[in-house]
Each structure stands twice: as C-alpha cells, then as structure tokens.
Amino acid sequence: LEQSLTNDRQNKYAPGGYFTFQGMPAGITPEQINEAWQRVQGVLADLEQRKTALDLREKDLQVLSDDIDNRIRRIADERLNIENLARQLDERIAKFQEQVKLVRNDEAAALKRNAQTYASFERSKAADLLSELWRTEKGKDDVLKTFEFMDKDAVNEILAAMTPPIAQDVMKMRLRVSKEAASSATPAK
C-alpha cells in the first residue's frame, strides 16, 4: 500500500501531494505586467520630482516668511523708536514752553498797544500795575511779552520803580522771552 501510494503521483495522499497546487490562469501577460511596472516606476519618479519641487518651494516660502518676520520686527522697532523720539520731542517742547515765553505774531499788535499805554503812564503807576500783574503766572507772561514791545528806556525806568525782588525776577525771566519768526506769507484781508 505504501509503495502504491508512493508511485501514484495523482493521489493526494502520495508524498508531496499535500503541497501541490494547481495554478490559476493569470489573465495578464508578462509584457502587460512589465508595462504596468514601468508606469508605476514613472509615477513614482514623478511623485519624487513633485516632492523635491514642493520641498524647494517650502524652503523658499520659509525664507520669505523669515524675511517678512524680520521686516515686521524691524518696522516695529523703528515705530517704537519713532514713538520714543516723538515723546522726547513733546517733552522738549513742553520744557521749552515752560522755560521760554514765545510772543506769537498774532499777539504782537495787542502787545504793542499795551506797551505804548504802559509807557505813557507815570513810571511809578506803571510799575505798580505791572507788579500787580506779576503775581500770577499768566500775568508774568503778559508783563514779559509787553516789555518786549516797550521802549528800552521806559522798561528801565519802570524796573527801577519796582521793588527790587520783583525787578530782579522780571530781569531774570526776560531772558526767556522769544518772538515768533515772521511768516513769509502775508495774511489775506
């Protein structure tokens, strides 16, 4: 029985019979498989090229993004610097306005009239009036500005008639008075 099974290859119980399988028809030829493989290789190569192009584009975009970030940061720094400079300028202007009394062009006519009026008064009377004005900050500004348009001799006589502390204070503060530069354009009437 053993020999008959060994010699009969058609029997599935013969040695090696368990592991023989009948092939199935493929329905595709080796040429078709080779063509499909070549197409797959082409698609893979195309995908690799696209990946490389996308990687390069991503690097370019990252460089652009970094450049934009740097520019934004520099602009923010410049804006902060400009704001600091503007704040410093505002502080300097405020300090200047505290220290220097500016006679504006539009005040000149009224100040000239007041100066002529004070100059026409008796010196002791003008000194009393101006000393009374000198007690307030606004009054100090008015006195200093008025003196700018008054005759020098009249100013000296009025200062001589004032009390020494007020006269000294006026003379010290007169150093801070400045006239506004005349504008080049004449106002239309």
List all residues 6 or more positions away from 14 whose beta carbon is below 8 Å from its beta carbon. Answer: 5, 6, 7, 8
Q: Nearest 10 degrees: CA dihedral of 57, 58, 64, 69?
A: 170
Q: Which helix (H) or strand (E) holds 160?
A: helix 152-161
Q: Taking a C-beta distance cutoff of 8 angstroms, is the pair 17, 11 a contact?
A: yes
Instruction: Name residue 169's amino acid.
Output: D
Per DSSP, the three-state class of 58 is helix
Find, among 106, 100, 113, 108, the residue nearest to 178 by Cα: 100
Higher pLDDT pick, 189 / 49: 49
pLDDT grade, residue 188 (50/70/90)?
Answer: very low
How far from chain centre, in Å, is Cα 50?
A: 41
Rg (CA), the chain: 52
Q: Taking a C-beta distance cutoff of 8 angstroms, is the pair 133, 164 a contact?
A: no
Quote the CA–CA distance of 141 and 178 in Å, as a whole number. 11
pLDDT of residue 19: 55
pLDDT in tens, 1-53: 777 766 766 665 555 555 555 666 677 888 888 999 999 999 999 999 999 99
Q: Which helix (H) or strand (E) holds 51?
A: helix 30-99
Instruction: Name residue 26's amino acid.
Output: A
Q: Taking a C-beta distance cutoff of 8 angstroms, is the pair 5, 11 a contact?
A: yes
pLDDT in tens, 85-140: 999 999 988 877 666 666 666 667 777 787 888 788 787 878 888 888 788 877 77
